């Protein structure tokens, strides 16, 4: 049974790989859309898909904490990027967007009682912040990869000797 779950998780992950950057945003948008749905089955479907996508983001975040790249002399370790104030600022902005979308989507649950508000709010804020941090770090890693490819191409273009066309 455990193998079936792993296989299904990997299939879903591979299918959503092109949208990996936007998984948390899509989940937040689905949560937001569920807040505006008047049909209970449609609302439940939107929330179920959103929870599933948020769990995938959490699993990817946990995997990124556990997986480490091998230390090659040829490739710098991108997991050791410096944390800069713009990253923190961008993370705060993205976390606020995710959190606001989730709050709007879950407004009936969160505002129904004070206890629900105090129980659900920290979880929403924590998950939004983790998803935002994961996405911002992913964006910065991709930026570092792109810079490295540009530097390699620039270094190779100086080595090539192209004769003039006659």
Tell me the pLDDT tens digit for each residue of 19-36. Answer: 777 887 888 888 888 888
pLDDT digits (tens, 9 = 90+) for 10-21: 887 777 677 777
23-36 helix and 114-159 helix, angle to the nearest 10 degrees: 150
Is residue 69 very low, low, confident or very high in pLDDT (cuts 50, 70, 90)? low
pLDDT of amino acid 96: 92
Q: Say what the pTM is.
A: 0.53
- As a whole-number percent, the residues of the chain with pLDDT over 90 amount to 4
* Averaged pLDDT, 65-74: 53
Q: How far apart are CA 81 and CA 142, in angstroms?
A: 11
DSSP H stretches of helix in the chain = 2-15, 23-36, 40-66, 85-105, 107-110, 114-159
pLDDT digits (tens, 9 = 90+) for 94-146: 999 988 888 877 776 667 777 767 777 888 888 888 888 888 888 888 888 88
> How many of the other CB atoms lie within 10 Å of CB of 138?
15
Position with higher pLDDT, 153 vs 115 = 153
pLDDT at 42 > cutoff 50: yes
pLDDT at 73 > cutoff 60: no
Burial of 156 (0-12, 13-18, 19+ CB in 10 A): exposed
Q: How far apart are CA 113 and CA 122, in angstroms?
A: 15
């Amino acid at each position: 049974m455990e193998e079936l779950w792993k296989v299904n998780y990997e299939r879903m992950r591979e299918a959503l790989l092109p949208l990996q950057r936007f998984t948390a945003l899509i989940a937040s948008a689905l949560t937001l859309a569920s807040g505006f749905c008047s049909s209970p089955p449609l609302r439940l479907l939107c929330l179920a898909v959103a929870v599933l996508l948020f769990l995938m983001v959490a699993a990817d975040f946990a995997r990124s904490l556990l997986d480490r790249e091998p230390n090659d002399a040829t490739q710098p370790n991108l997991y050791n990027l410096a944390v800069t104030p713009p990253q923190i600022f961008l993370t705060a902005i993205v976390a606020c967007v995710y959190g606001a979308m989730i709050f709007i989507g879950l407004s009936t649950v969160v505002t129904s009682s004070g206890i629900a508000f105090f129980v659900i709010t920290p979880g929403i804020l924590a998950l939004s912040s983790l998803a935002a941090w994961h996405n911002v770090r992913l964006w910065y890693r991709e930026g570092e990869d792109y810079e490295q490819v540009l530097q390699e191409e620039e270094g190779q273009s100086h080595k090539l000797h192209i004769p003039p066309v006659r």
